[in-house]
Structure 1
Amino acid sequence: MSIDFSKAAGVHDDALRLRAERTKVLASNIANVSTPGFQARDIDFAASLRSALGSGDGSGDGFNGELALDTGDQDMKYRVPYHPAQDGNTVELGVEQAAFAQNALDFQTSLSFVNMKLKGLAKAISGQ
């Protein structure tokens, strides 16, 4: 009998991949804070995770890590600025930094859950 690690990790496998992709998008926003006309983007995490999981009906094949800025994916959204800049840039540094920090914490949380699951499996395998 073999162990299916993707089932053992549960939702956190796809969540970690989506969080990593969102980190790239948020880092791109922060890097372009001074670029005239740059439009801040973000991933709709909840919608992306639902589509990765197939809405619970078993039809989803998981997130493949190919959500990119140029795909026009419905889960990628433009961020609406609180205070638009005159040069057309919609990146607000404080908002992006807060989103980046929250995403990093959420990534760490999912990573901790995966770590606990794997430690539990290791104990079960060793007979403890």
Structure 2
Amino acid sequence: MFEPLTRRLEFFSDALQLRAHRQQVLASNIANADTPGFVARDFDFRQAMDSVRSRGPELRAGAMPVLTGGNAQHLRTASALADVPDRNRVQYSVQTQPSLDGNTVDLDQQRANFIHNAVQYESTLRFINGHVRTMLSAIQGQ
């Protein structure tokens, strides 16, 4: 009965966790903009999301033991996406501006990617919030 209600929340949860991971990768790129020889990295969010969706509900619910006992009905944590191959397949970014020290970080591009990802993260949070409010209204009969 609750599966249709929670399926959408699981999708948004997966998206939120992948967005958080991408934000960390982009922040690392920005932090290392002046490090000689640093190669910028990123991953394909869409491909990672497709990989999460293709795992199926039976694998997603019990992918990692969470809480005590590892019950498959418990909520998943961020570590539950650790087994997603595309999440861990961080690729090197294509260099757009040559630099003498070998650093491939294009600071303007990385900042734009960071802001875009932050906006997407915020919108995902708003979708989750709206979905939870809708479910609470239905439960309370309002």
Q: Does the pair score TM above 0.5?
A: yes
1:52–1:60 CA contact under 8 A, matched in 2: no
Shift in alpha-carbon separation, 1:8–1:19, aligned structure 2, 3 A: same
- TM-score normalised by structure 2 residue count: 0.75
**Cα distance in 2, alignment partners of residues 73 and 10 from structure 1:** 20
Structure 2 letter corresponding to 1:108: E
Q: Secondary structure at the match of 2:91?
A: strand
Taking only the aligned residue pairs, the percentage that are identical comes to 37
Match of 1:93 in 2: 107
Does residue 105 (structure 1) correspond to residue 125 (structure 2)? The answer is no
Unmatched tracts of structure 1, length 5 or more: none
> Whole-Å Cα distance in 1 between the matches of residues 58 and 140 of structure 2?
34
Cα distance in 2 for partners of 1:72, 1:123 equals 35
- What RMSD over aligned residues (CA atoms) do the two structures have, in Å? 2.7
Which amino acid letter does the alignment assign opposite residue 98 of structure 1? A
Contact 1:6 1:13 in 2 (8 A): no
SS of the aligned residue for 1:85 comes to: coil
**Contact persistence 1:21–1:65 (CA under 8 A):** no
Q: Distance in 2 between matches of 1:45 and 1:72?
A: 8
Contact 2:43–2:87 (Cα < 8 Å) also in 1 = no
> Is 1:50 paired with 2:68?
no
* Bigger proportion of residues as helix: 2
Matched residue, 2:23: 23
Paired positions, count: 123
The residue identity in structure 2 corresponding to 1:80 is V
Match of 1:66 in 2: 82
CA distance in 2, matches of 1:21, 1:5: 26
- Secondary structure of residue in 1 paired with 2:23: helix
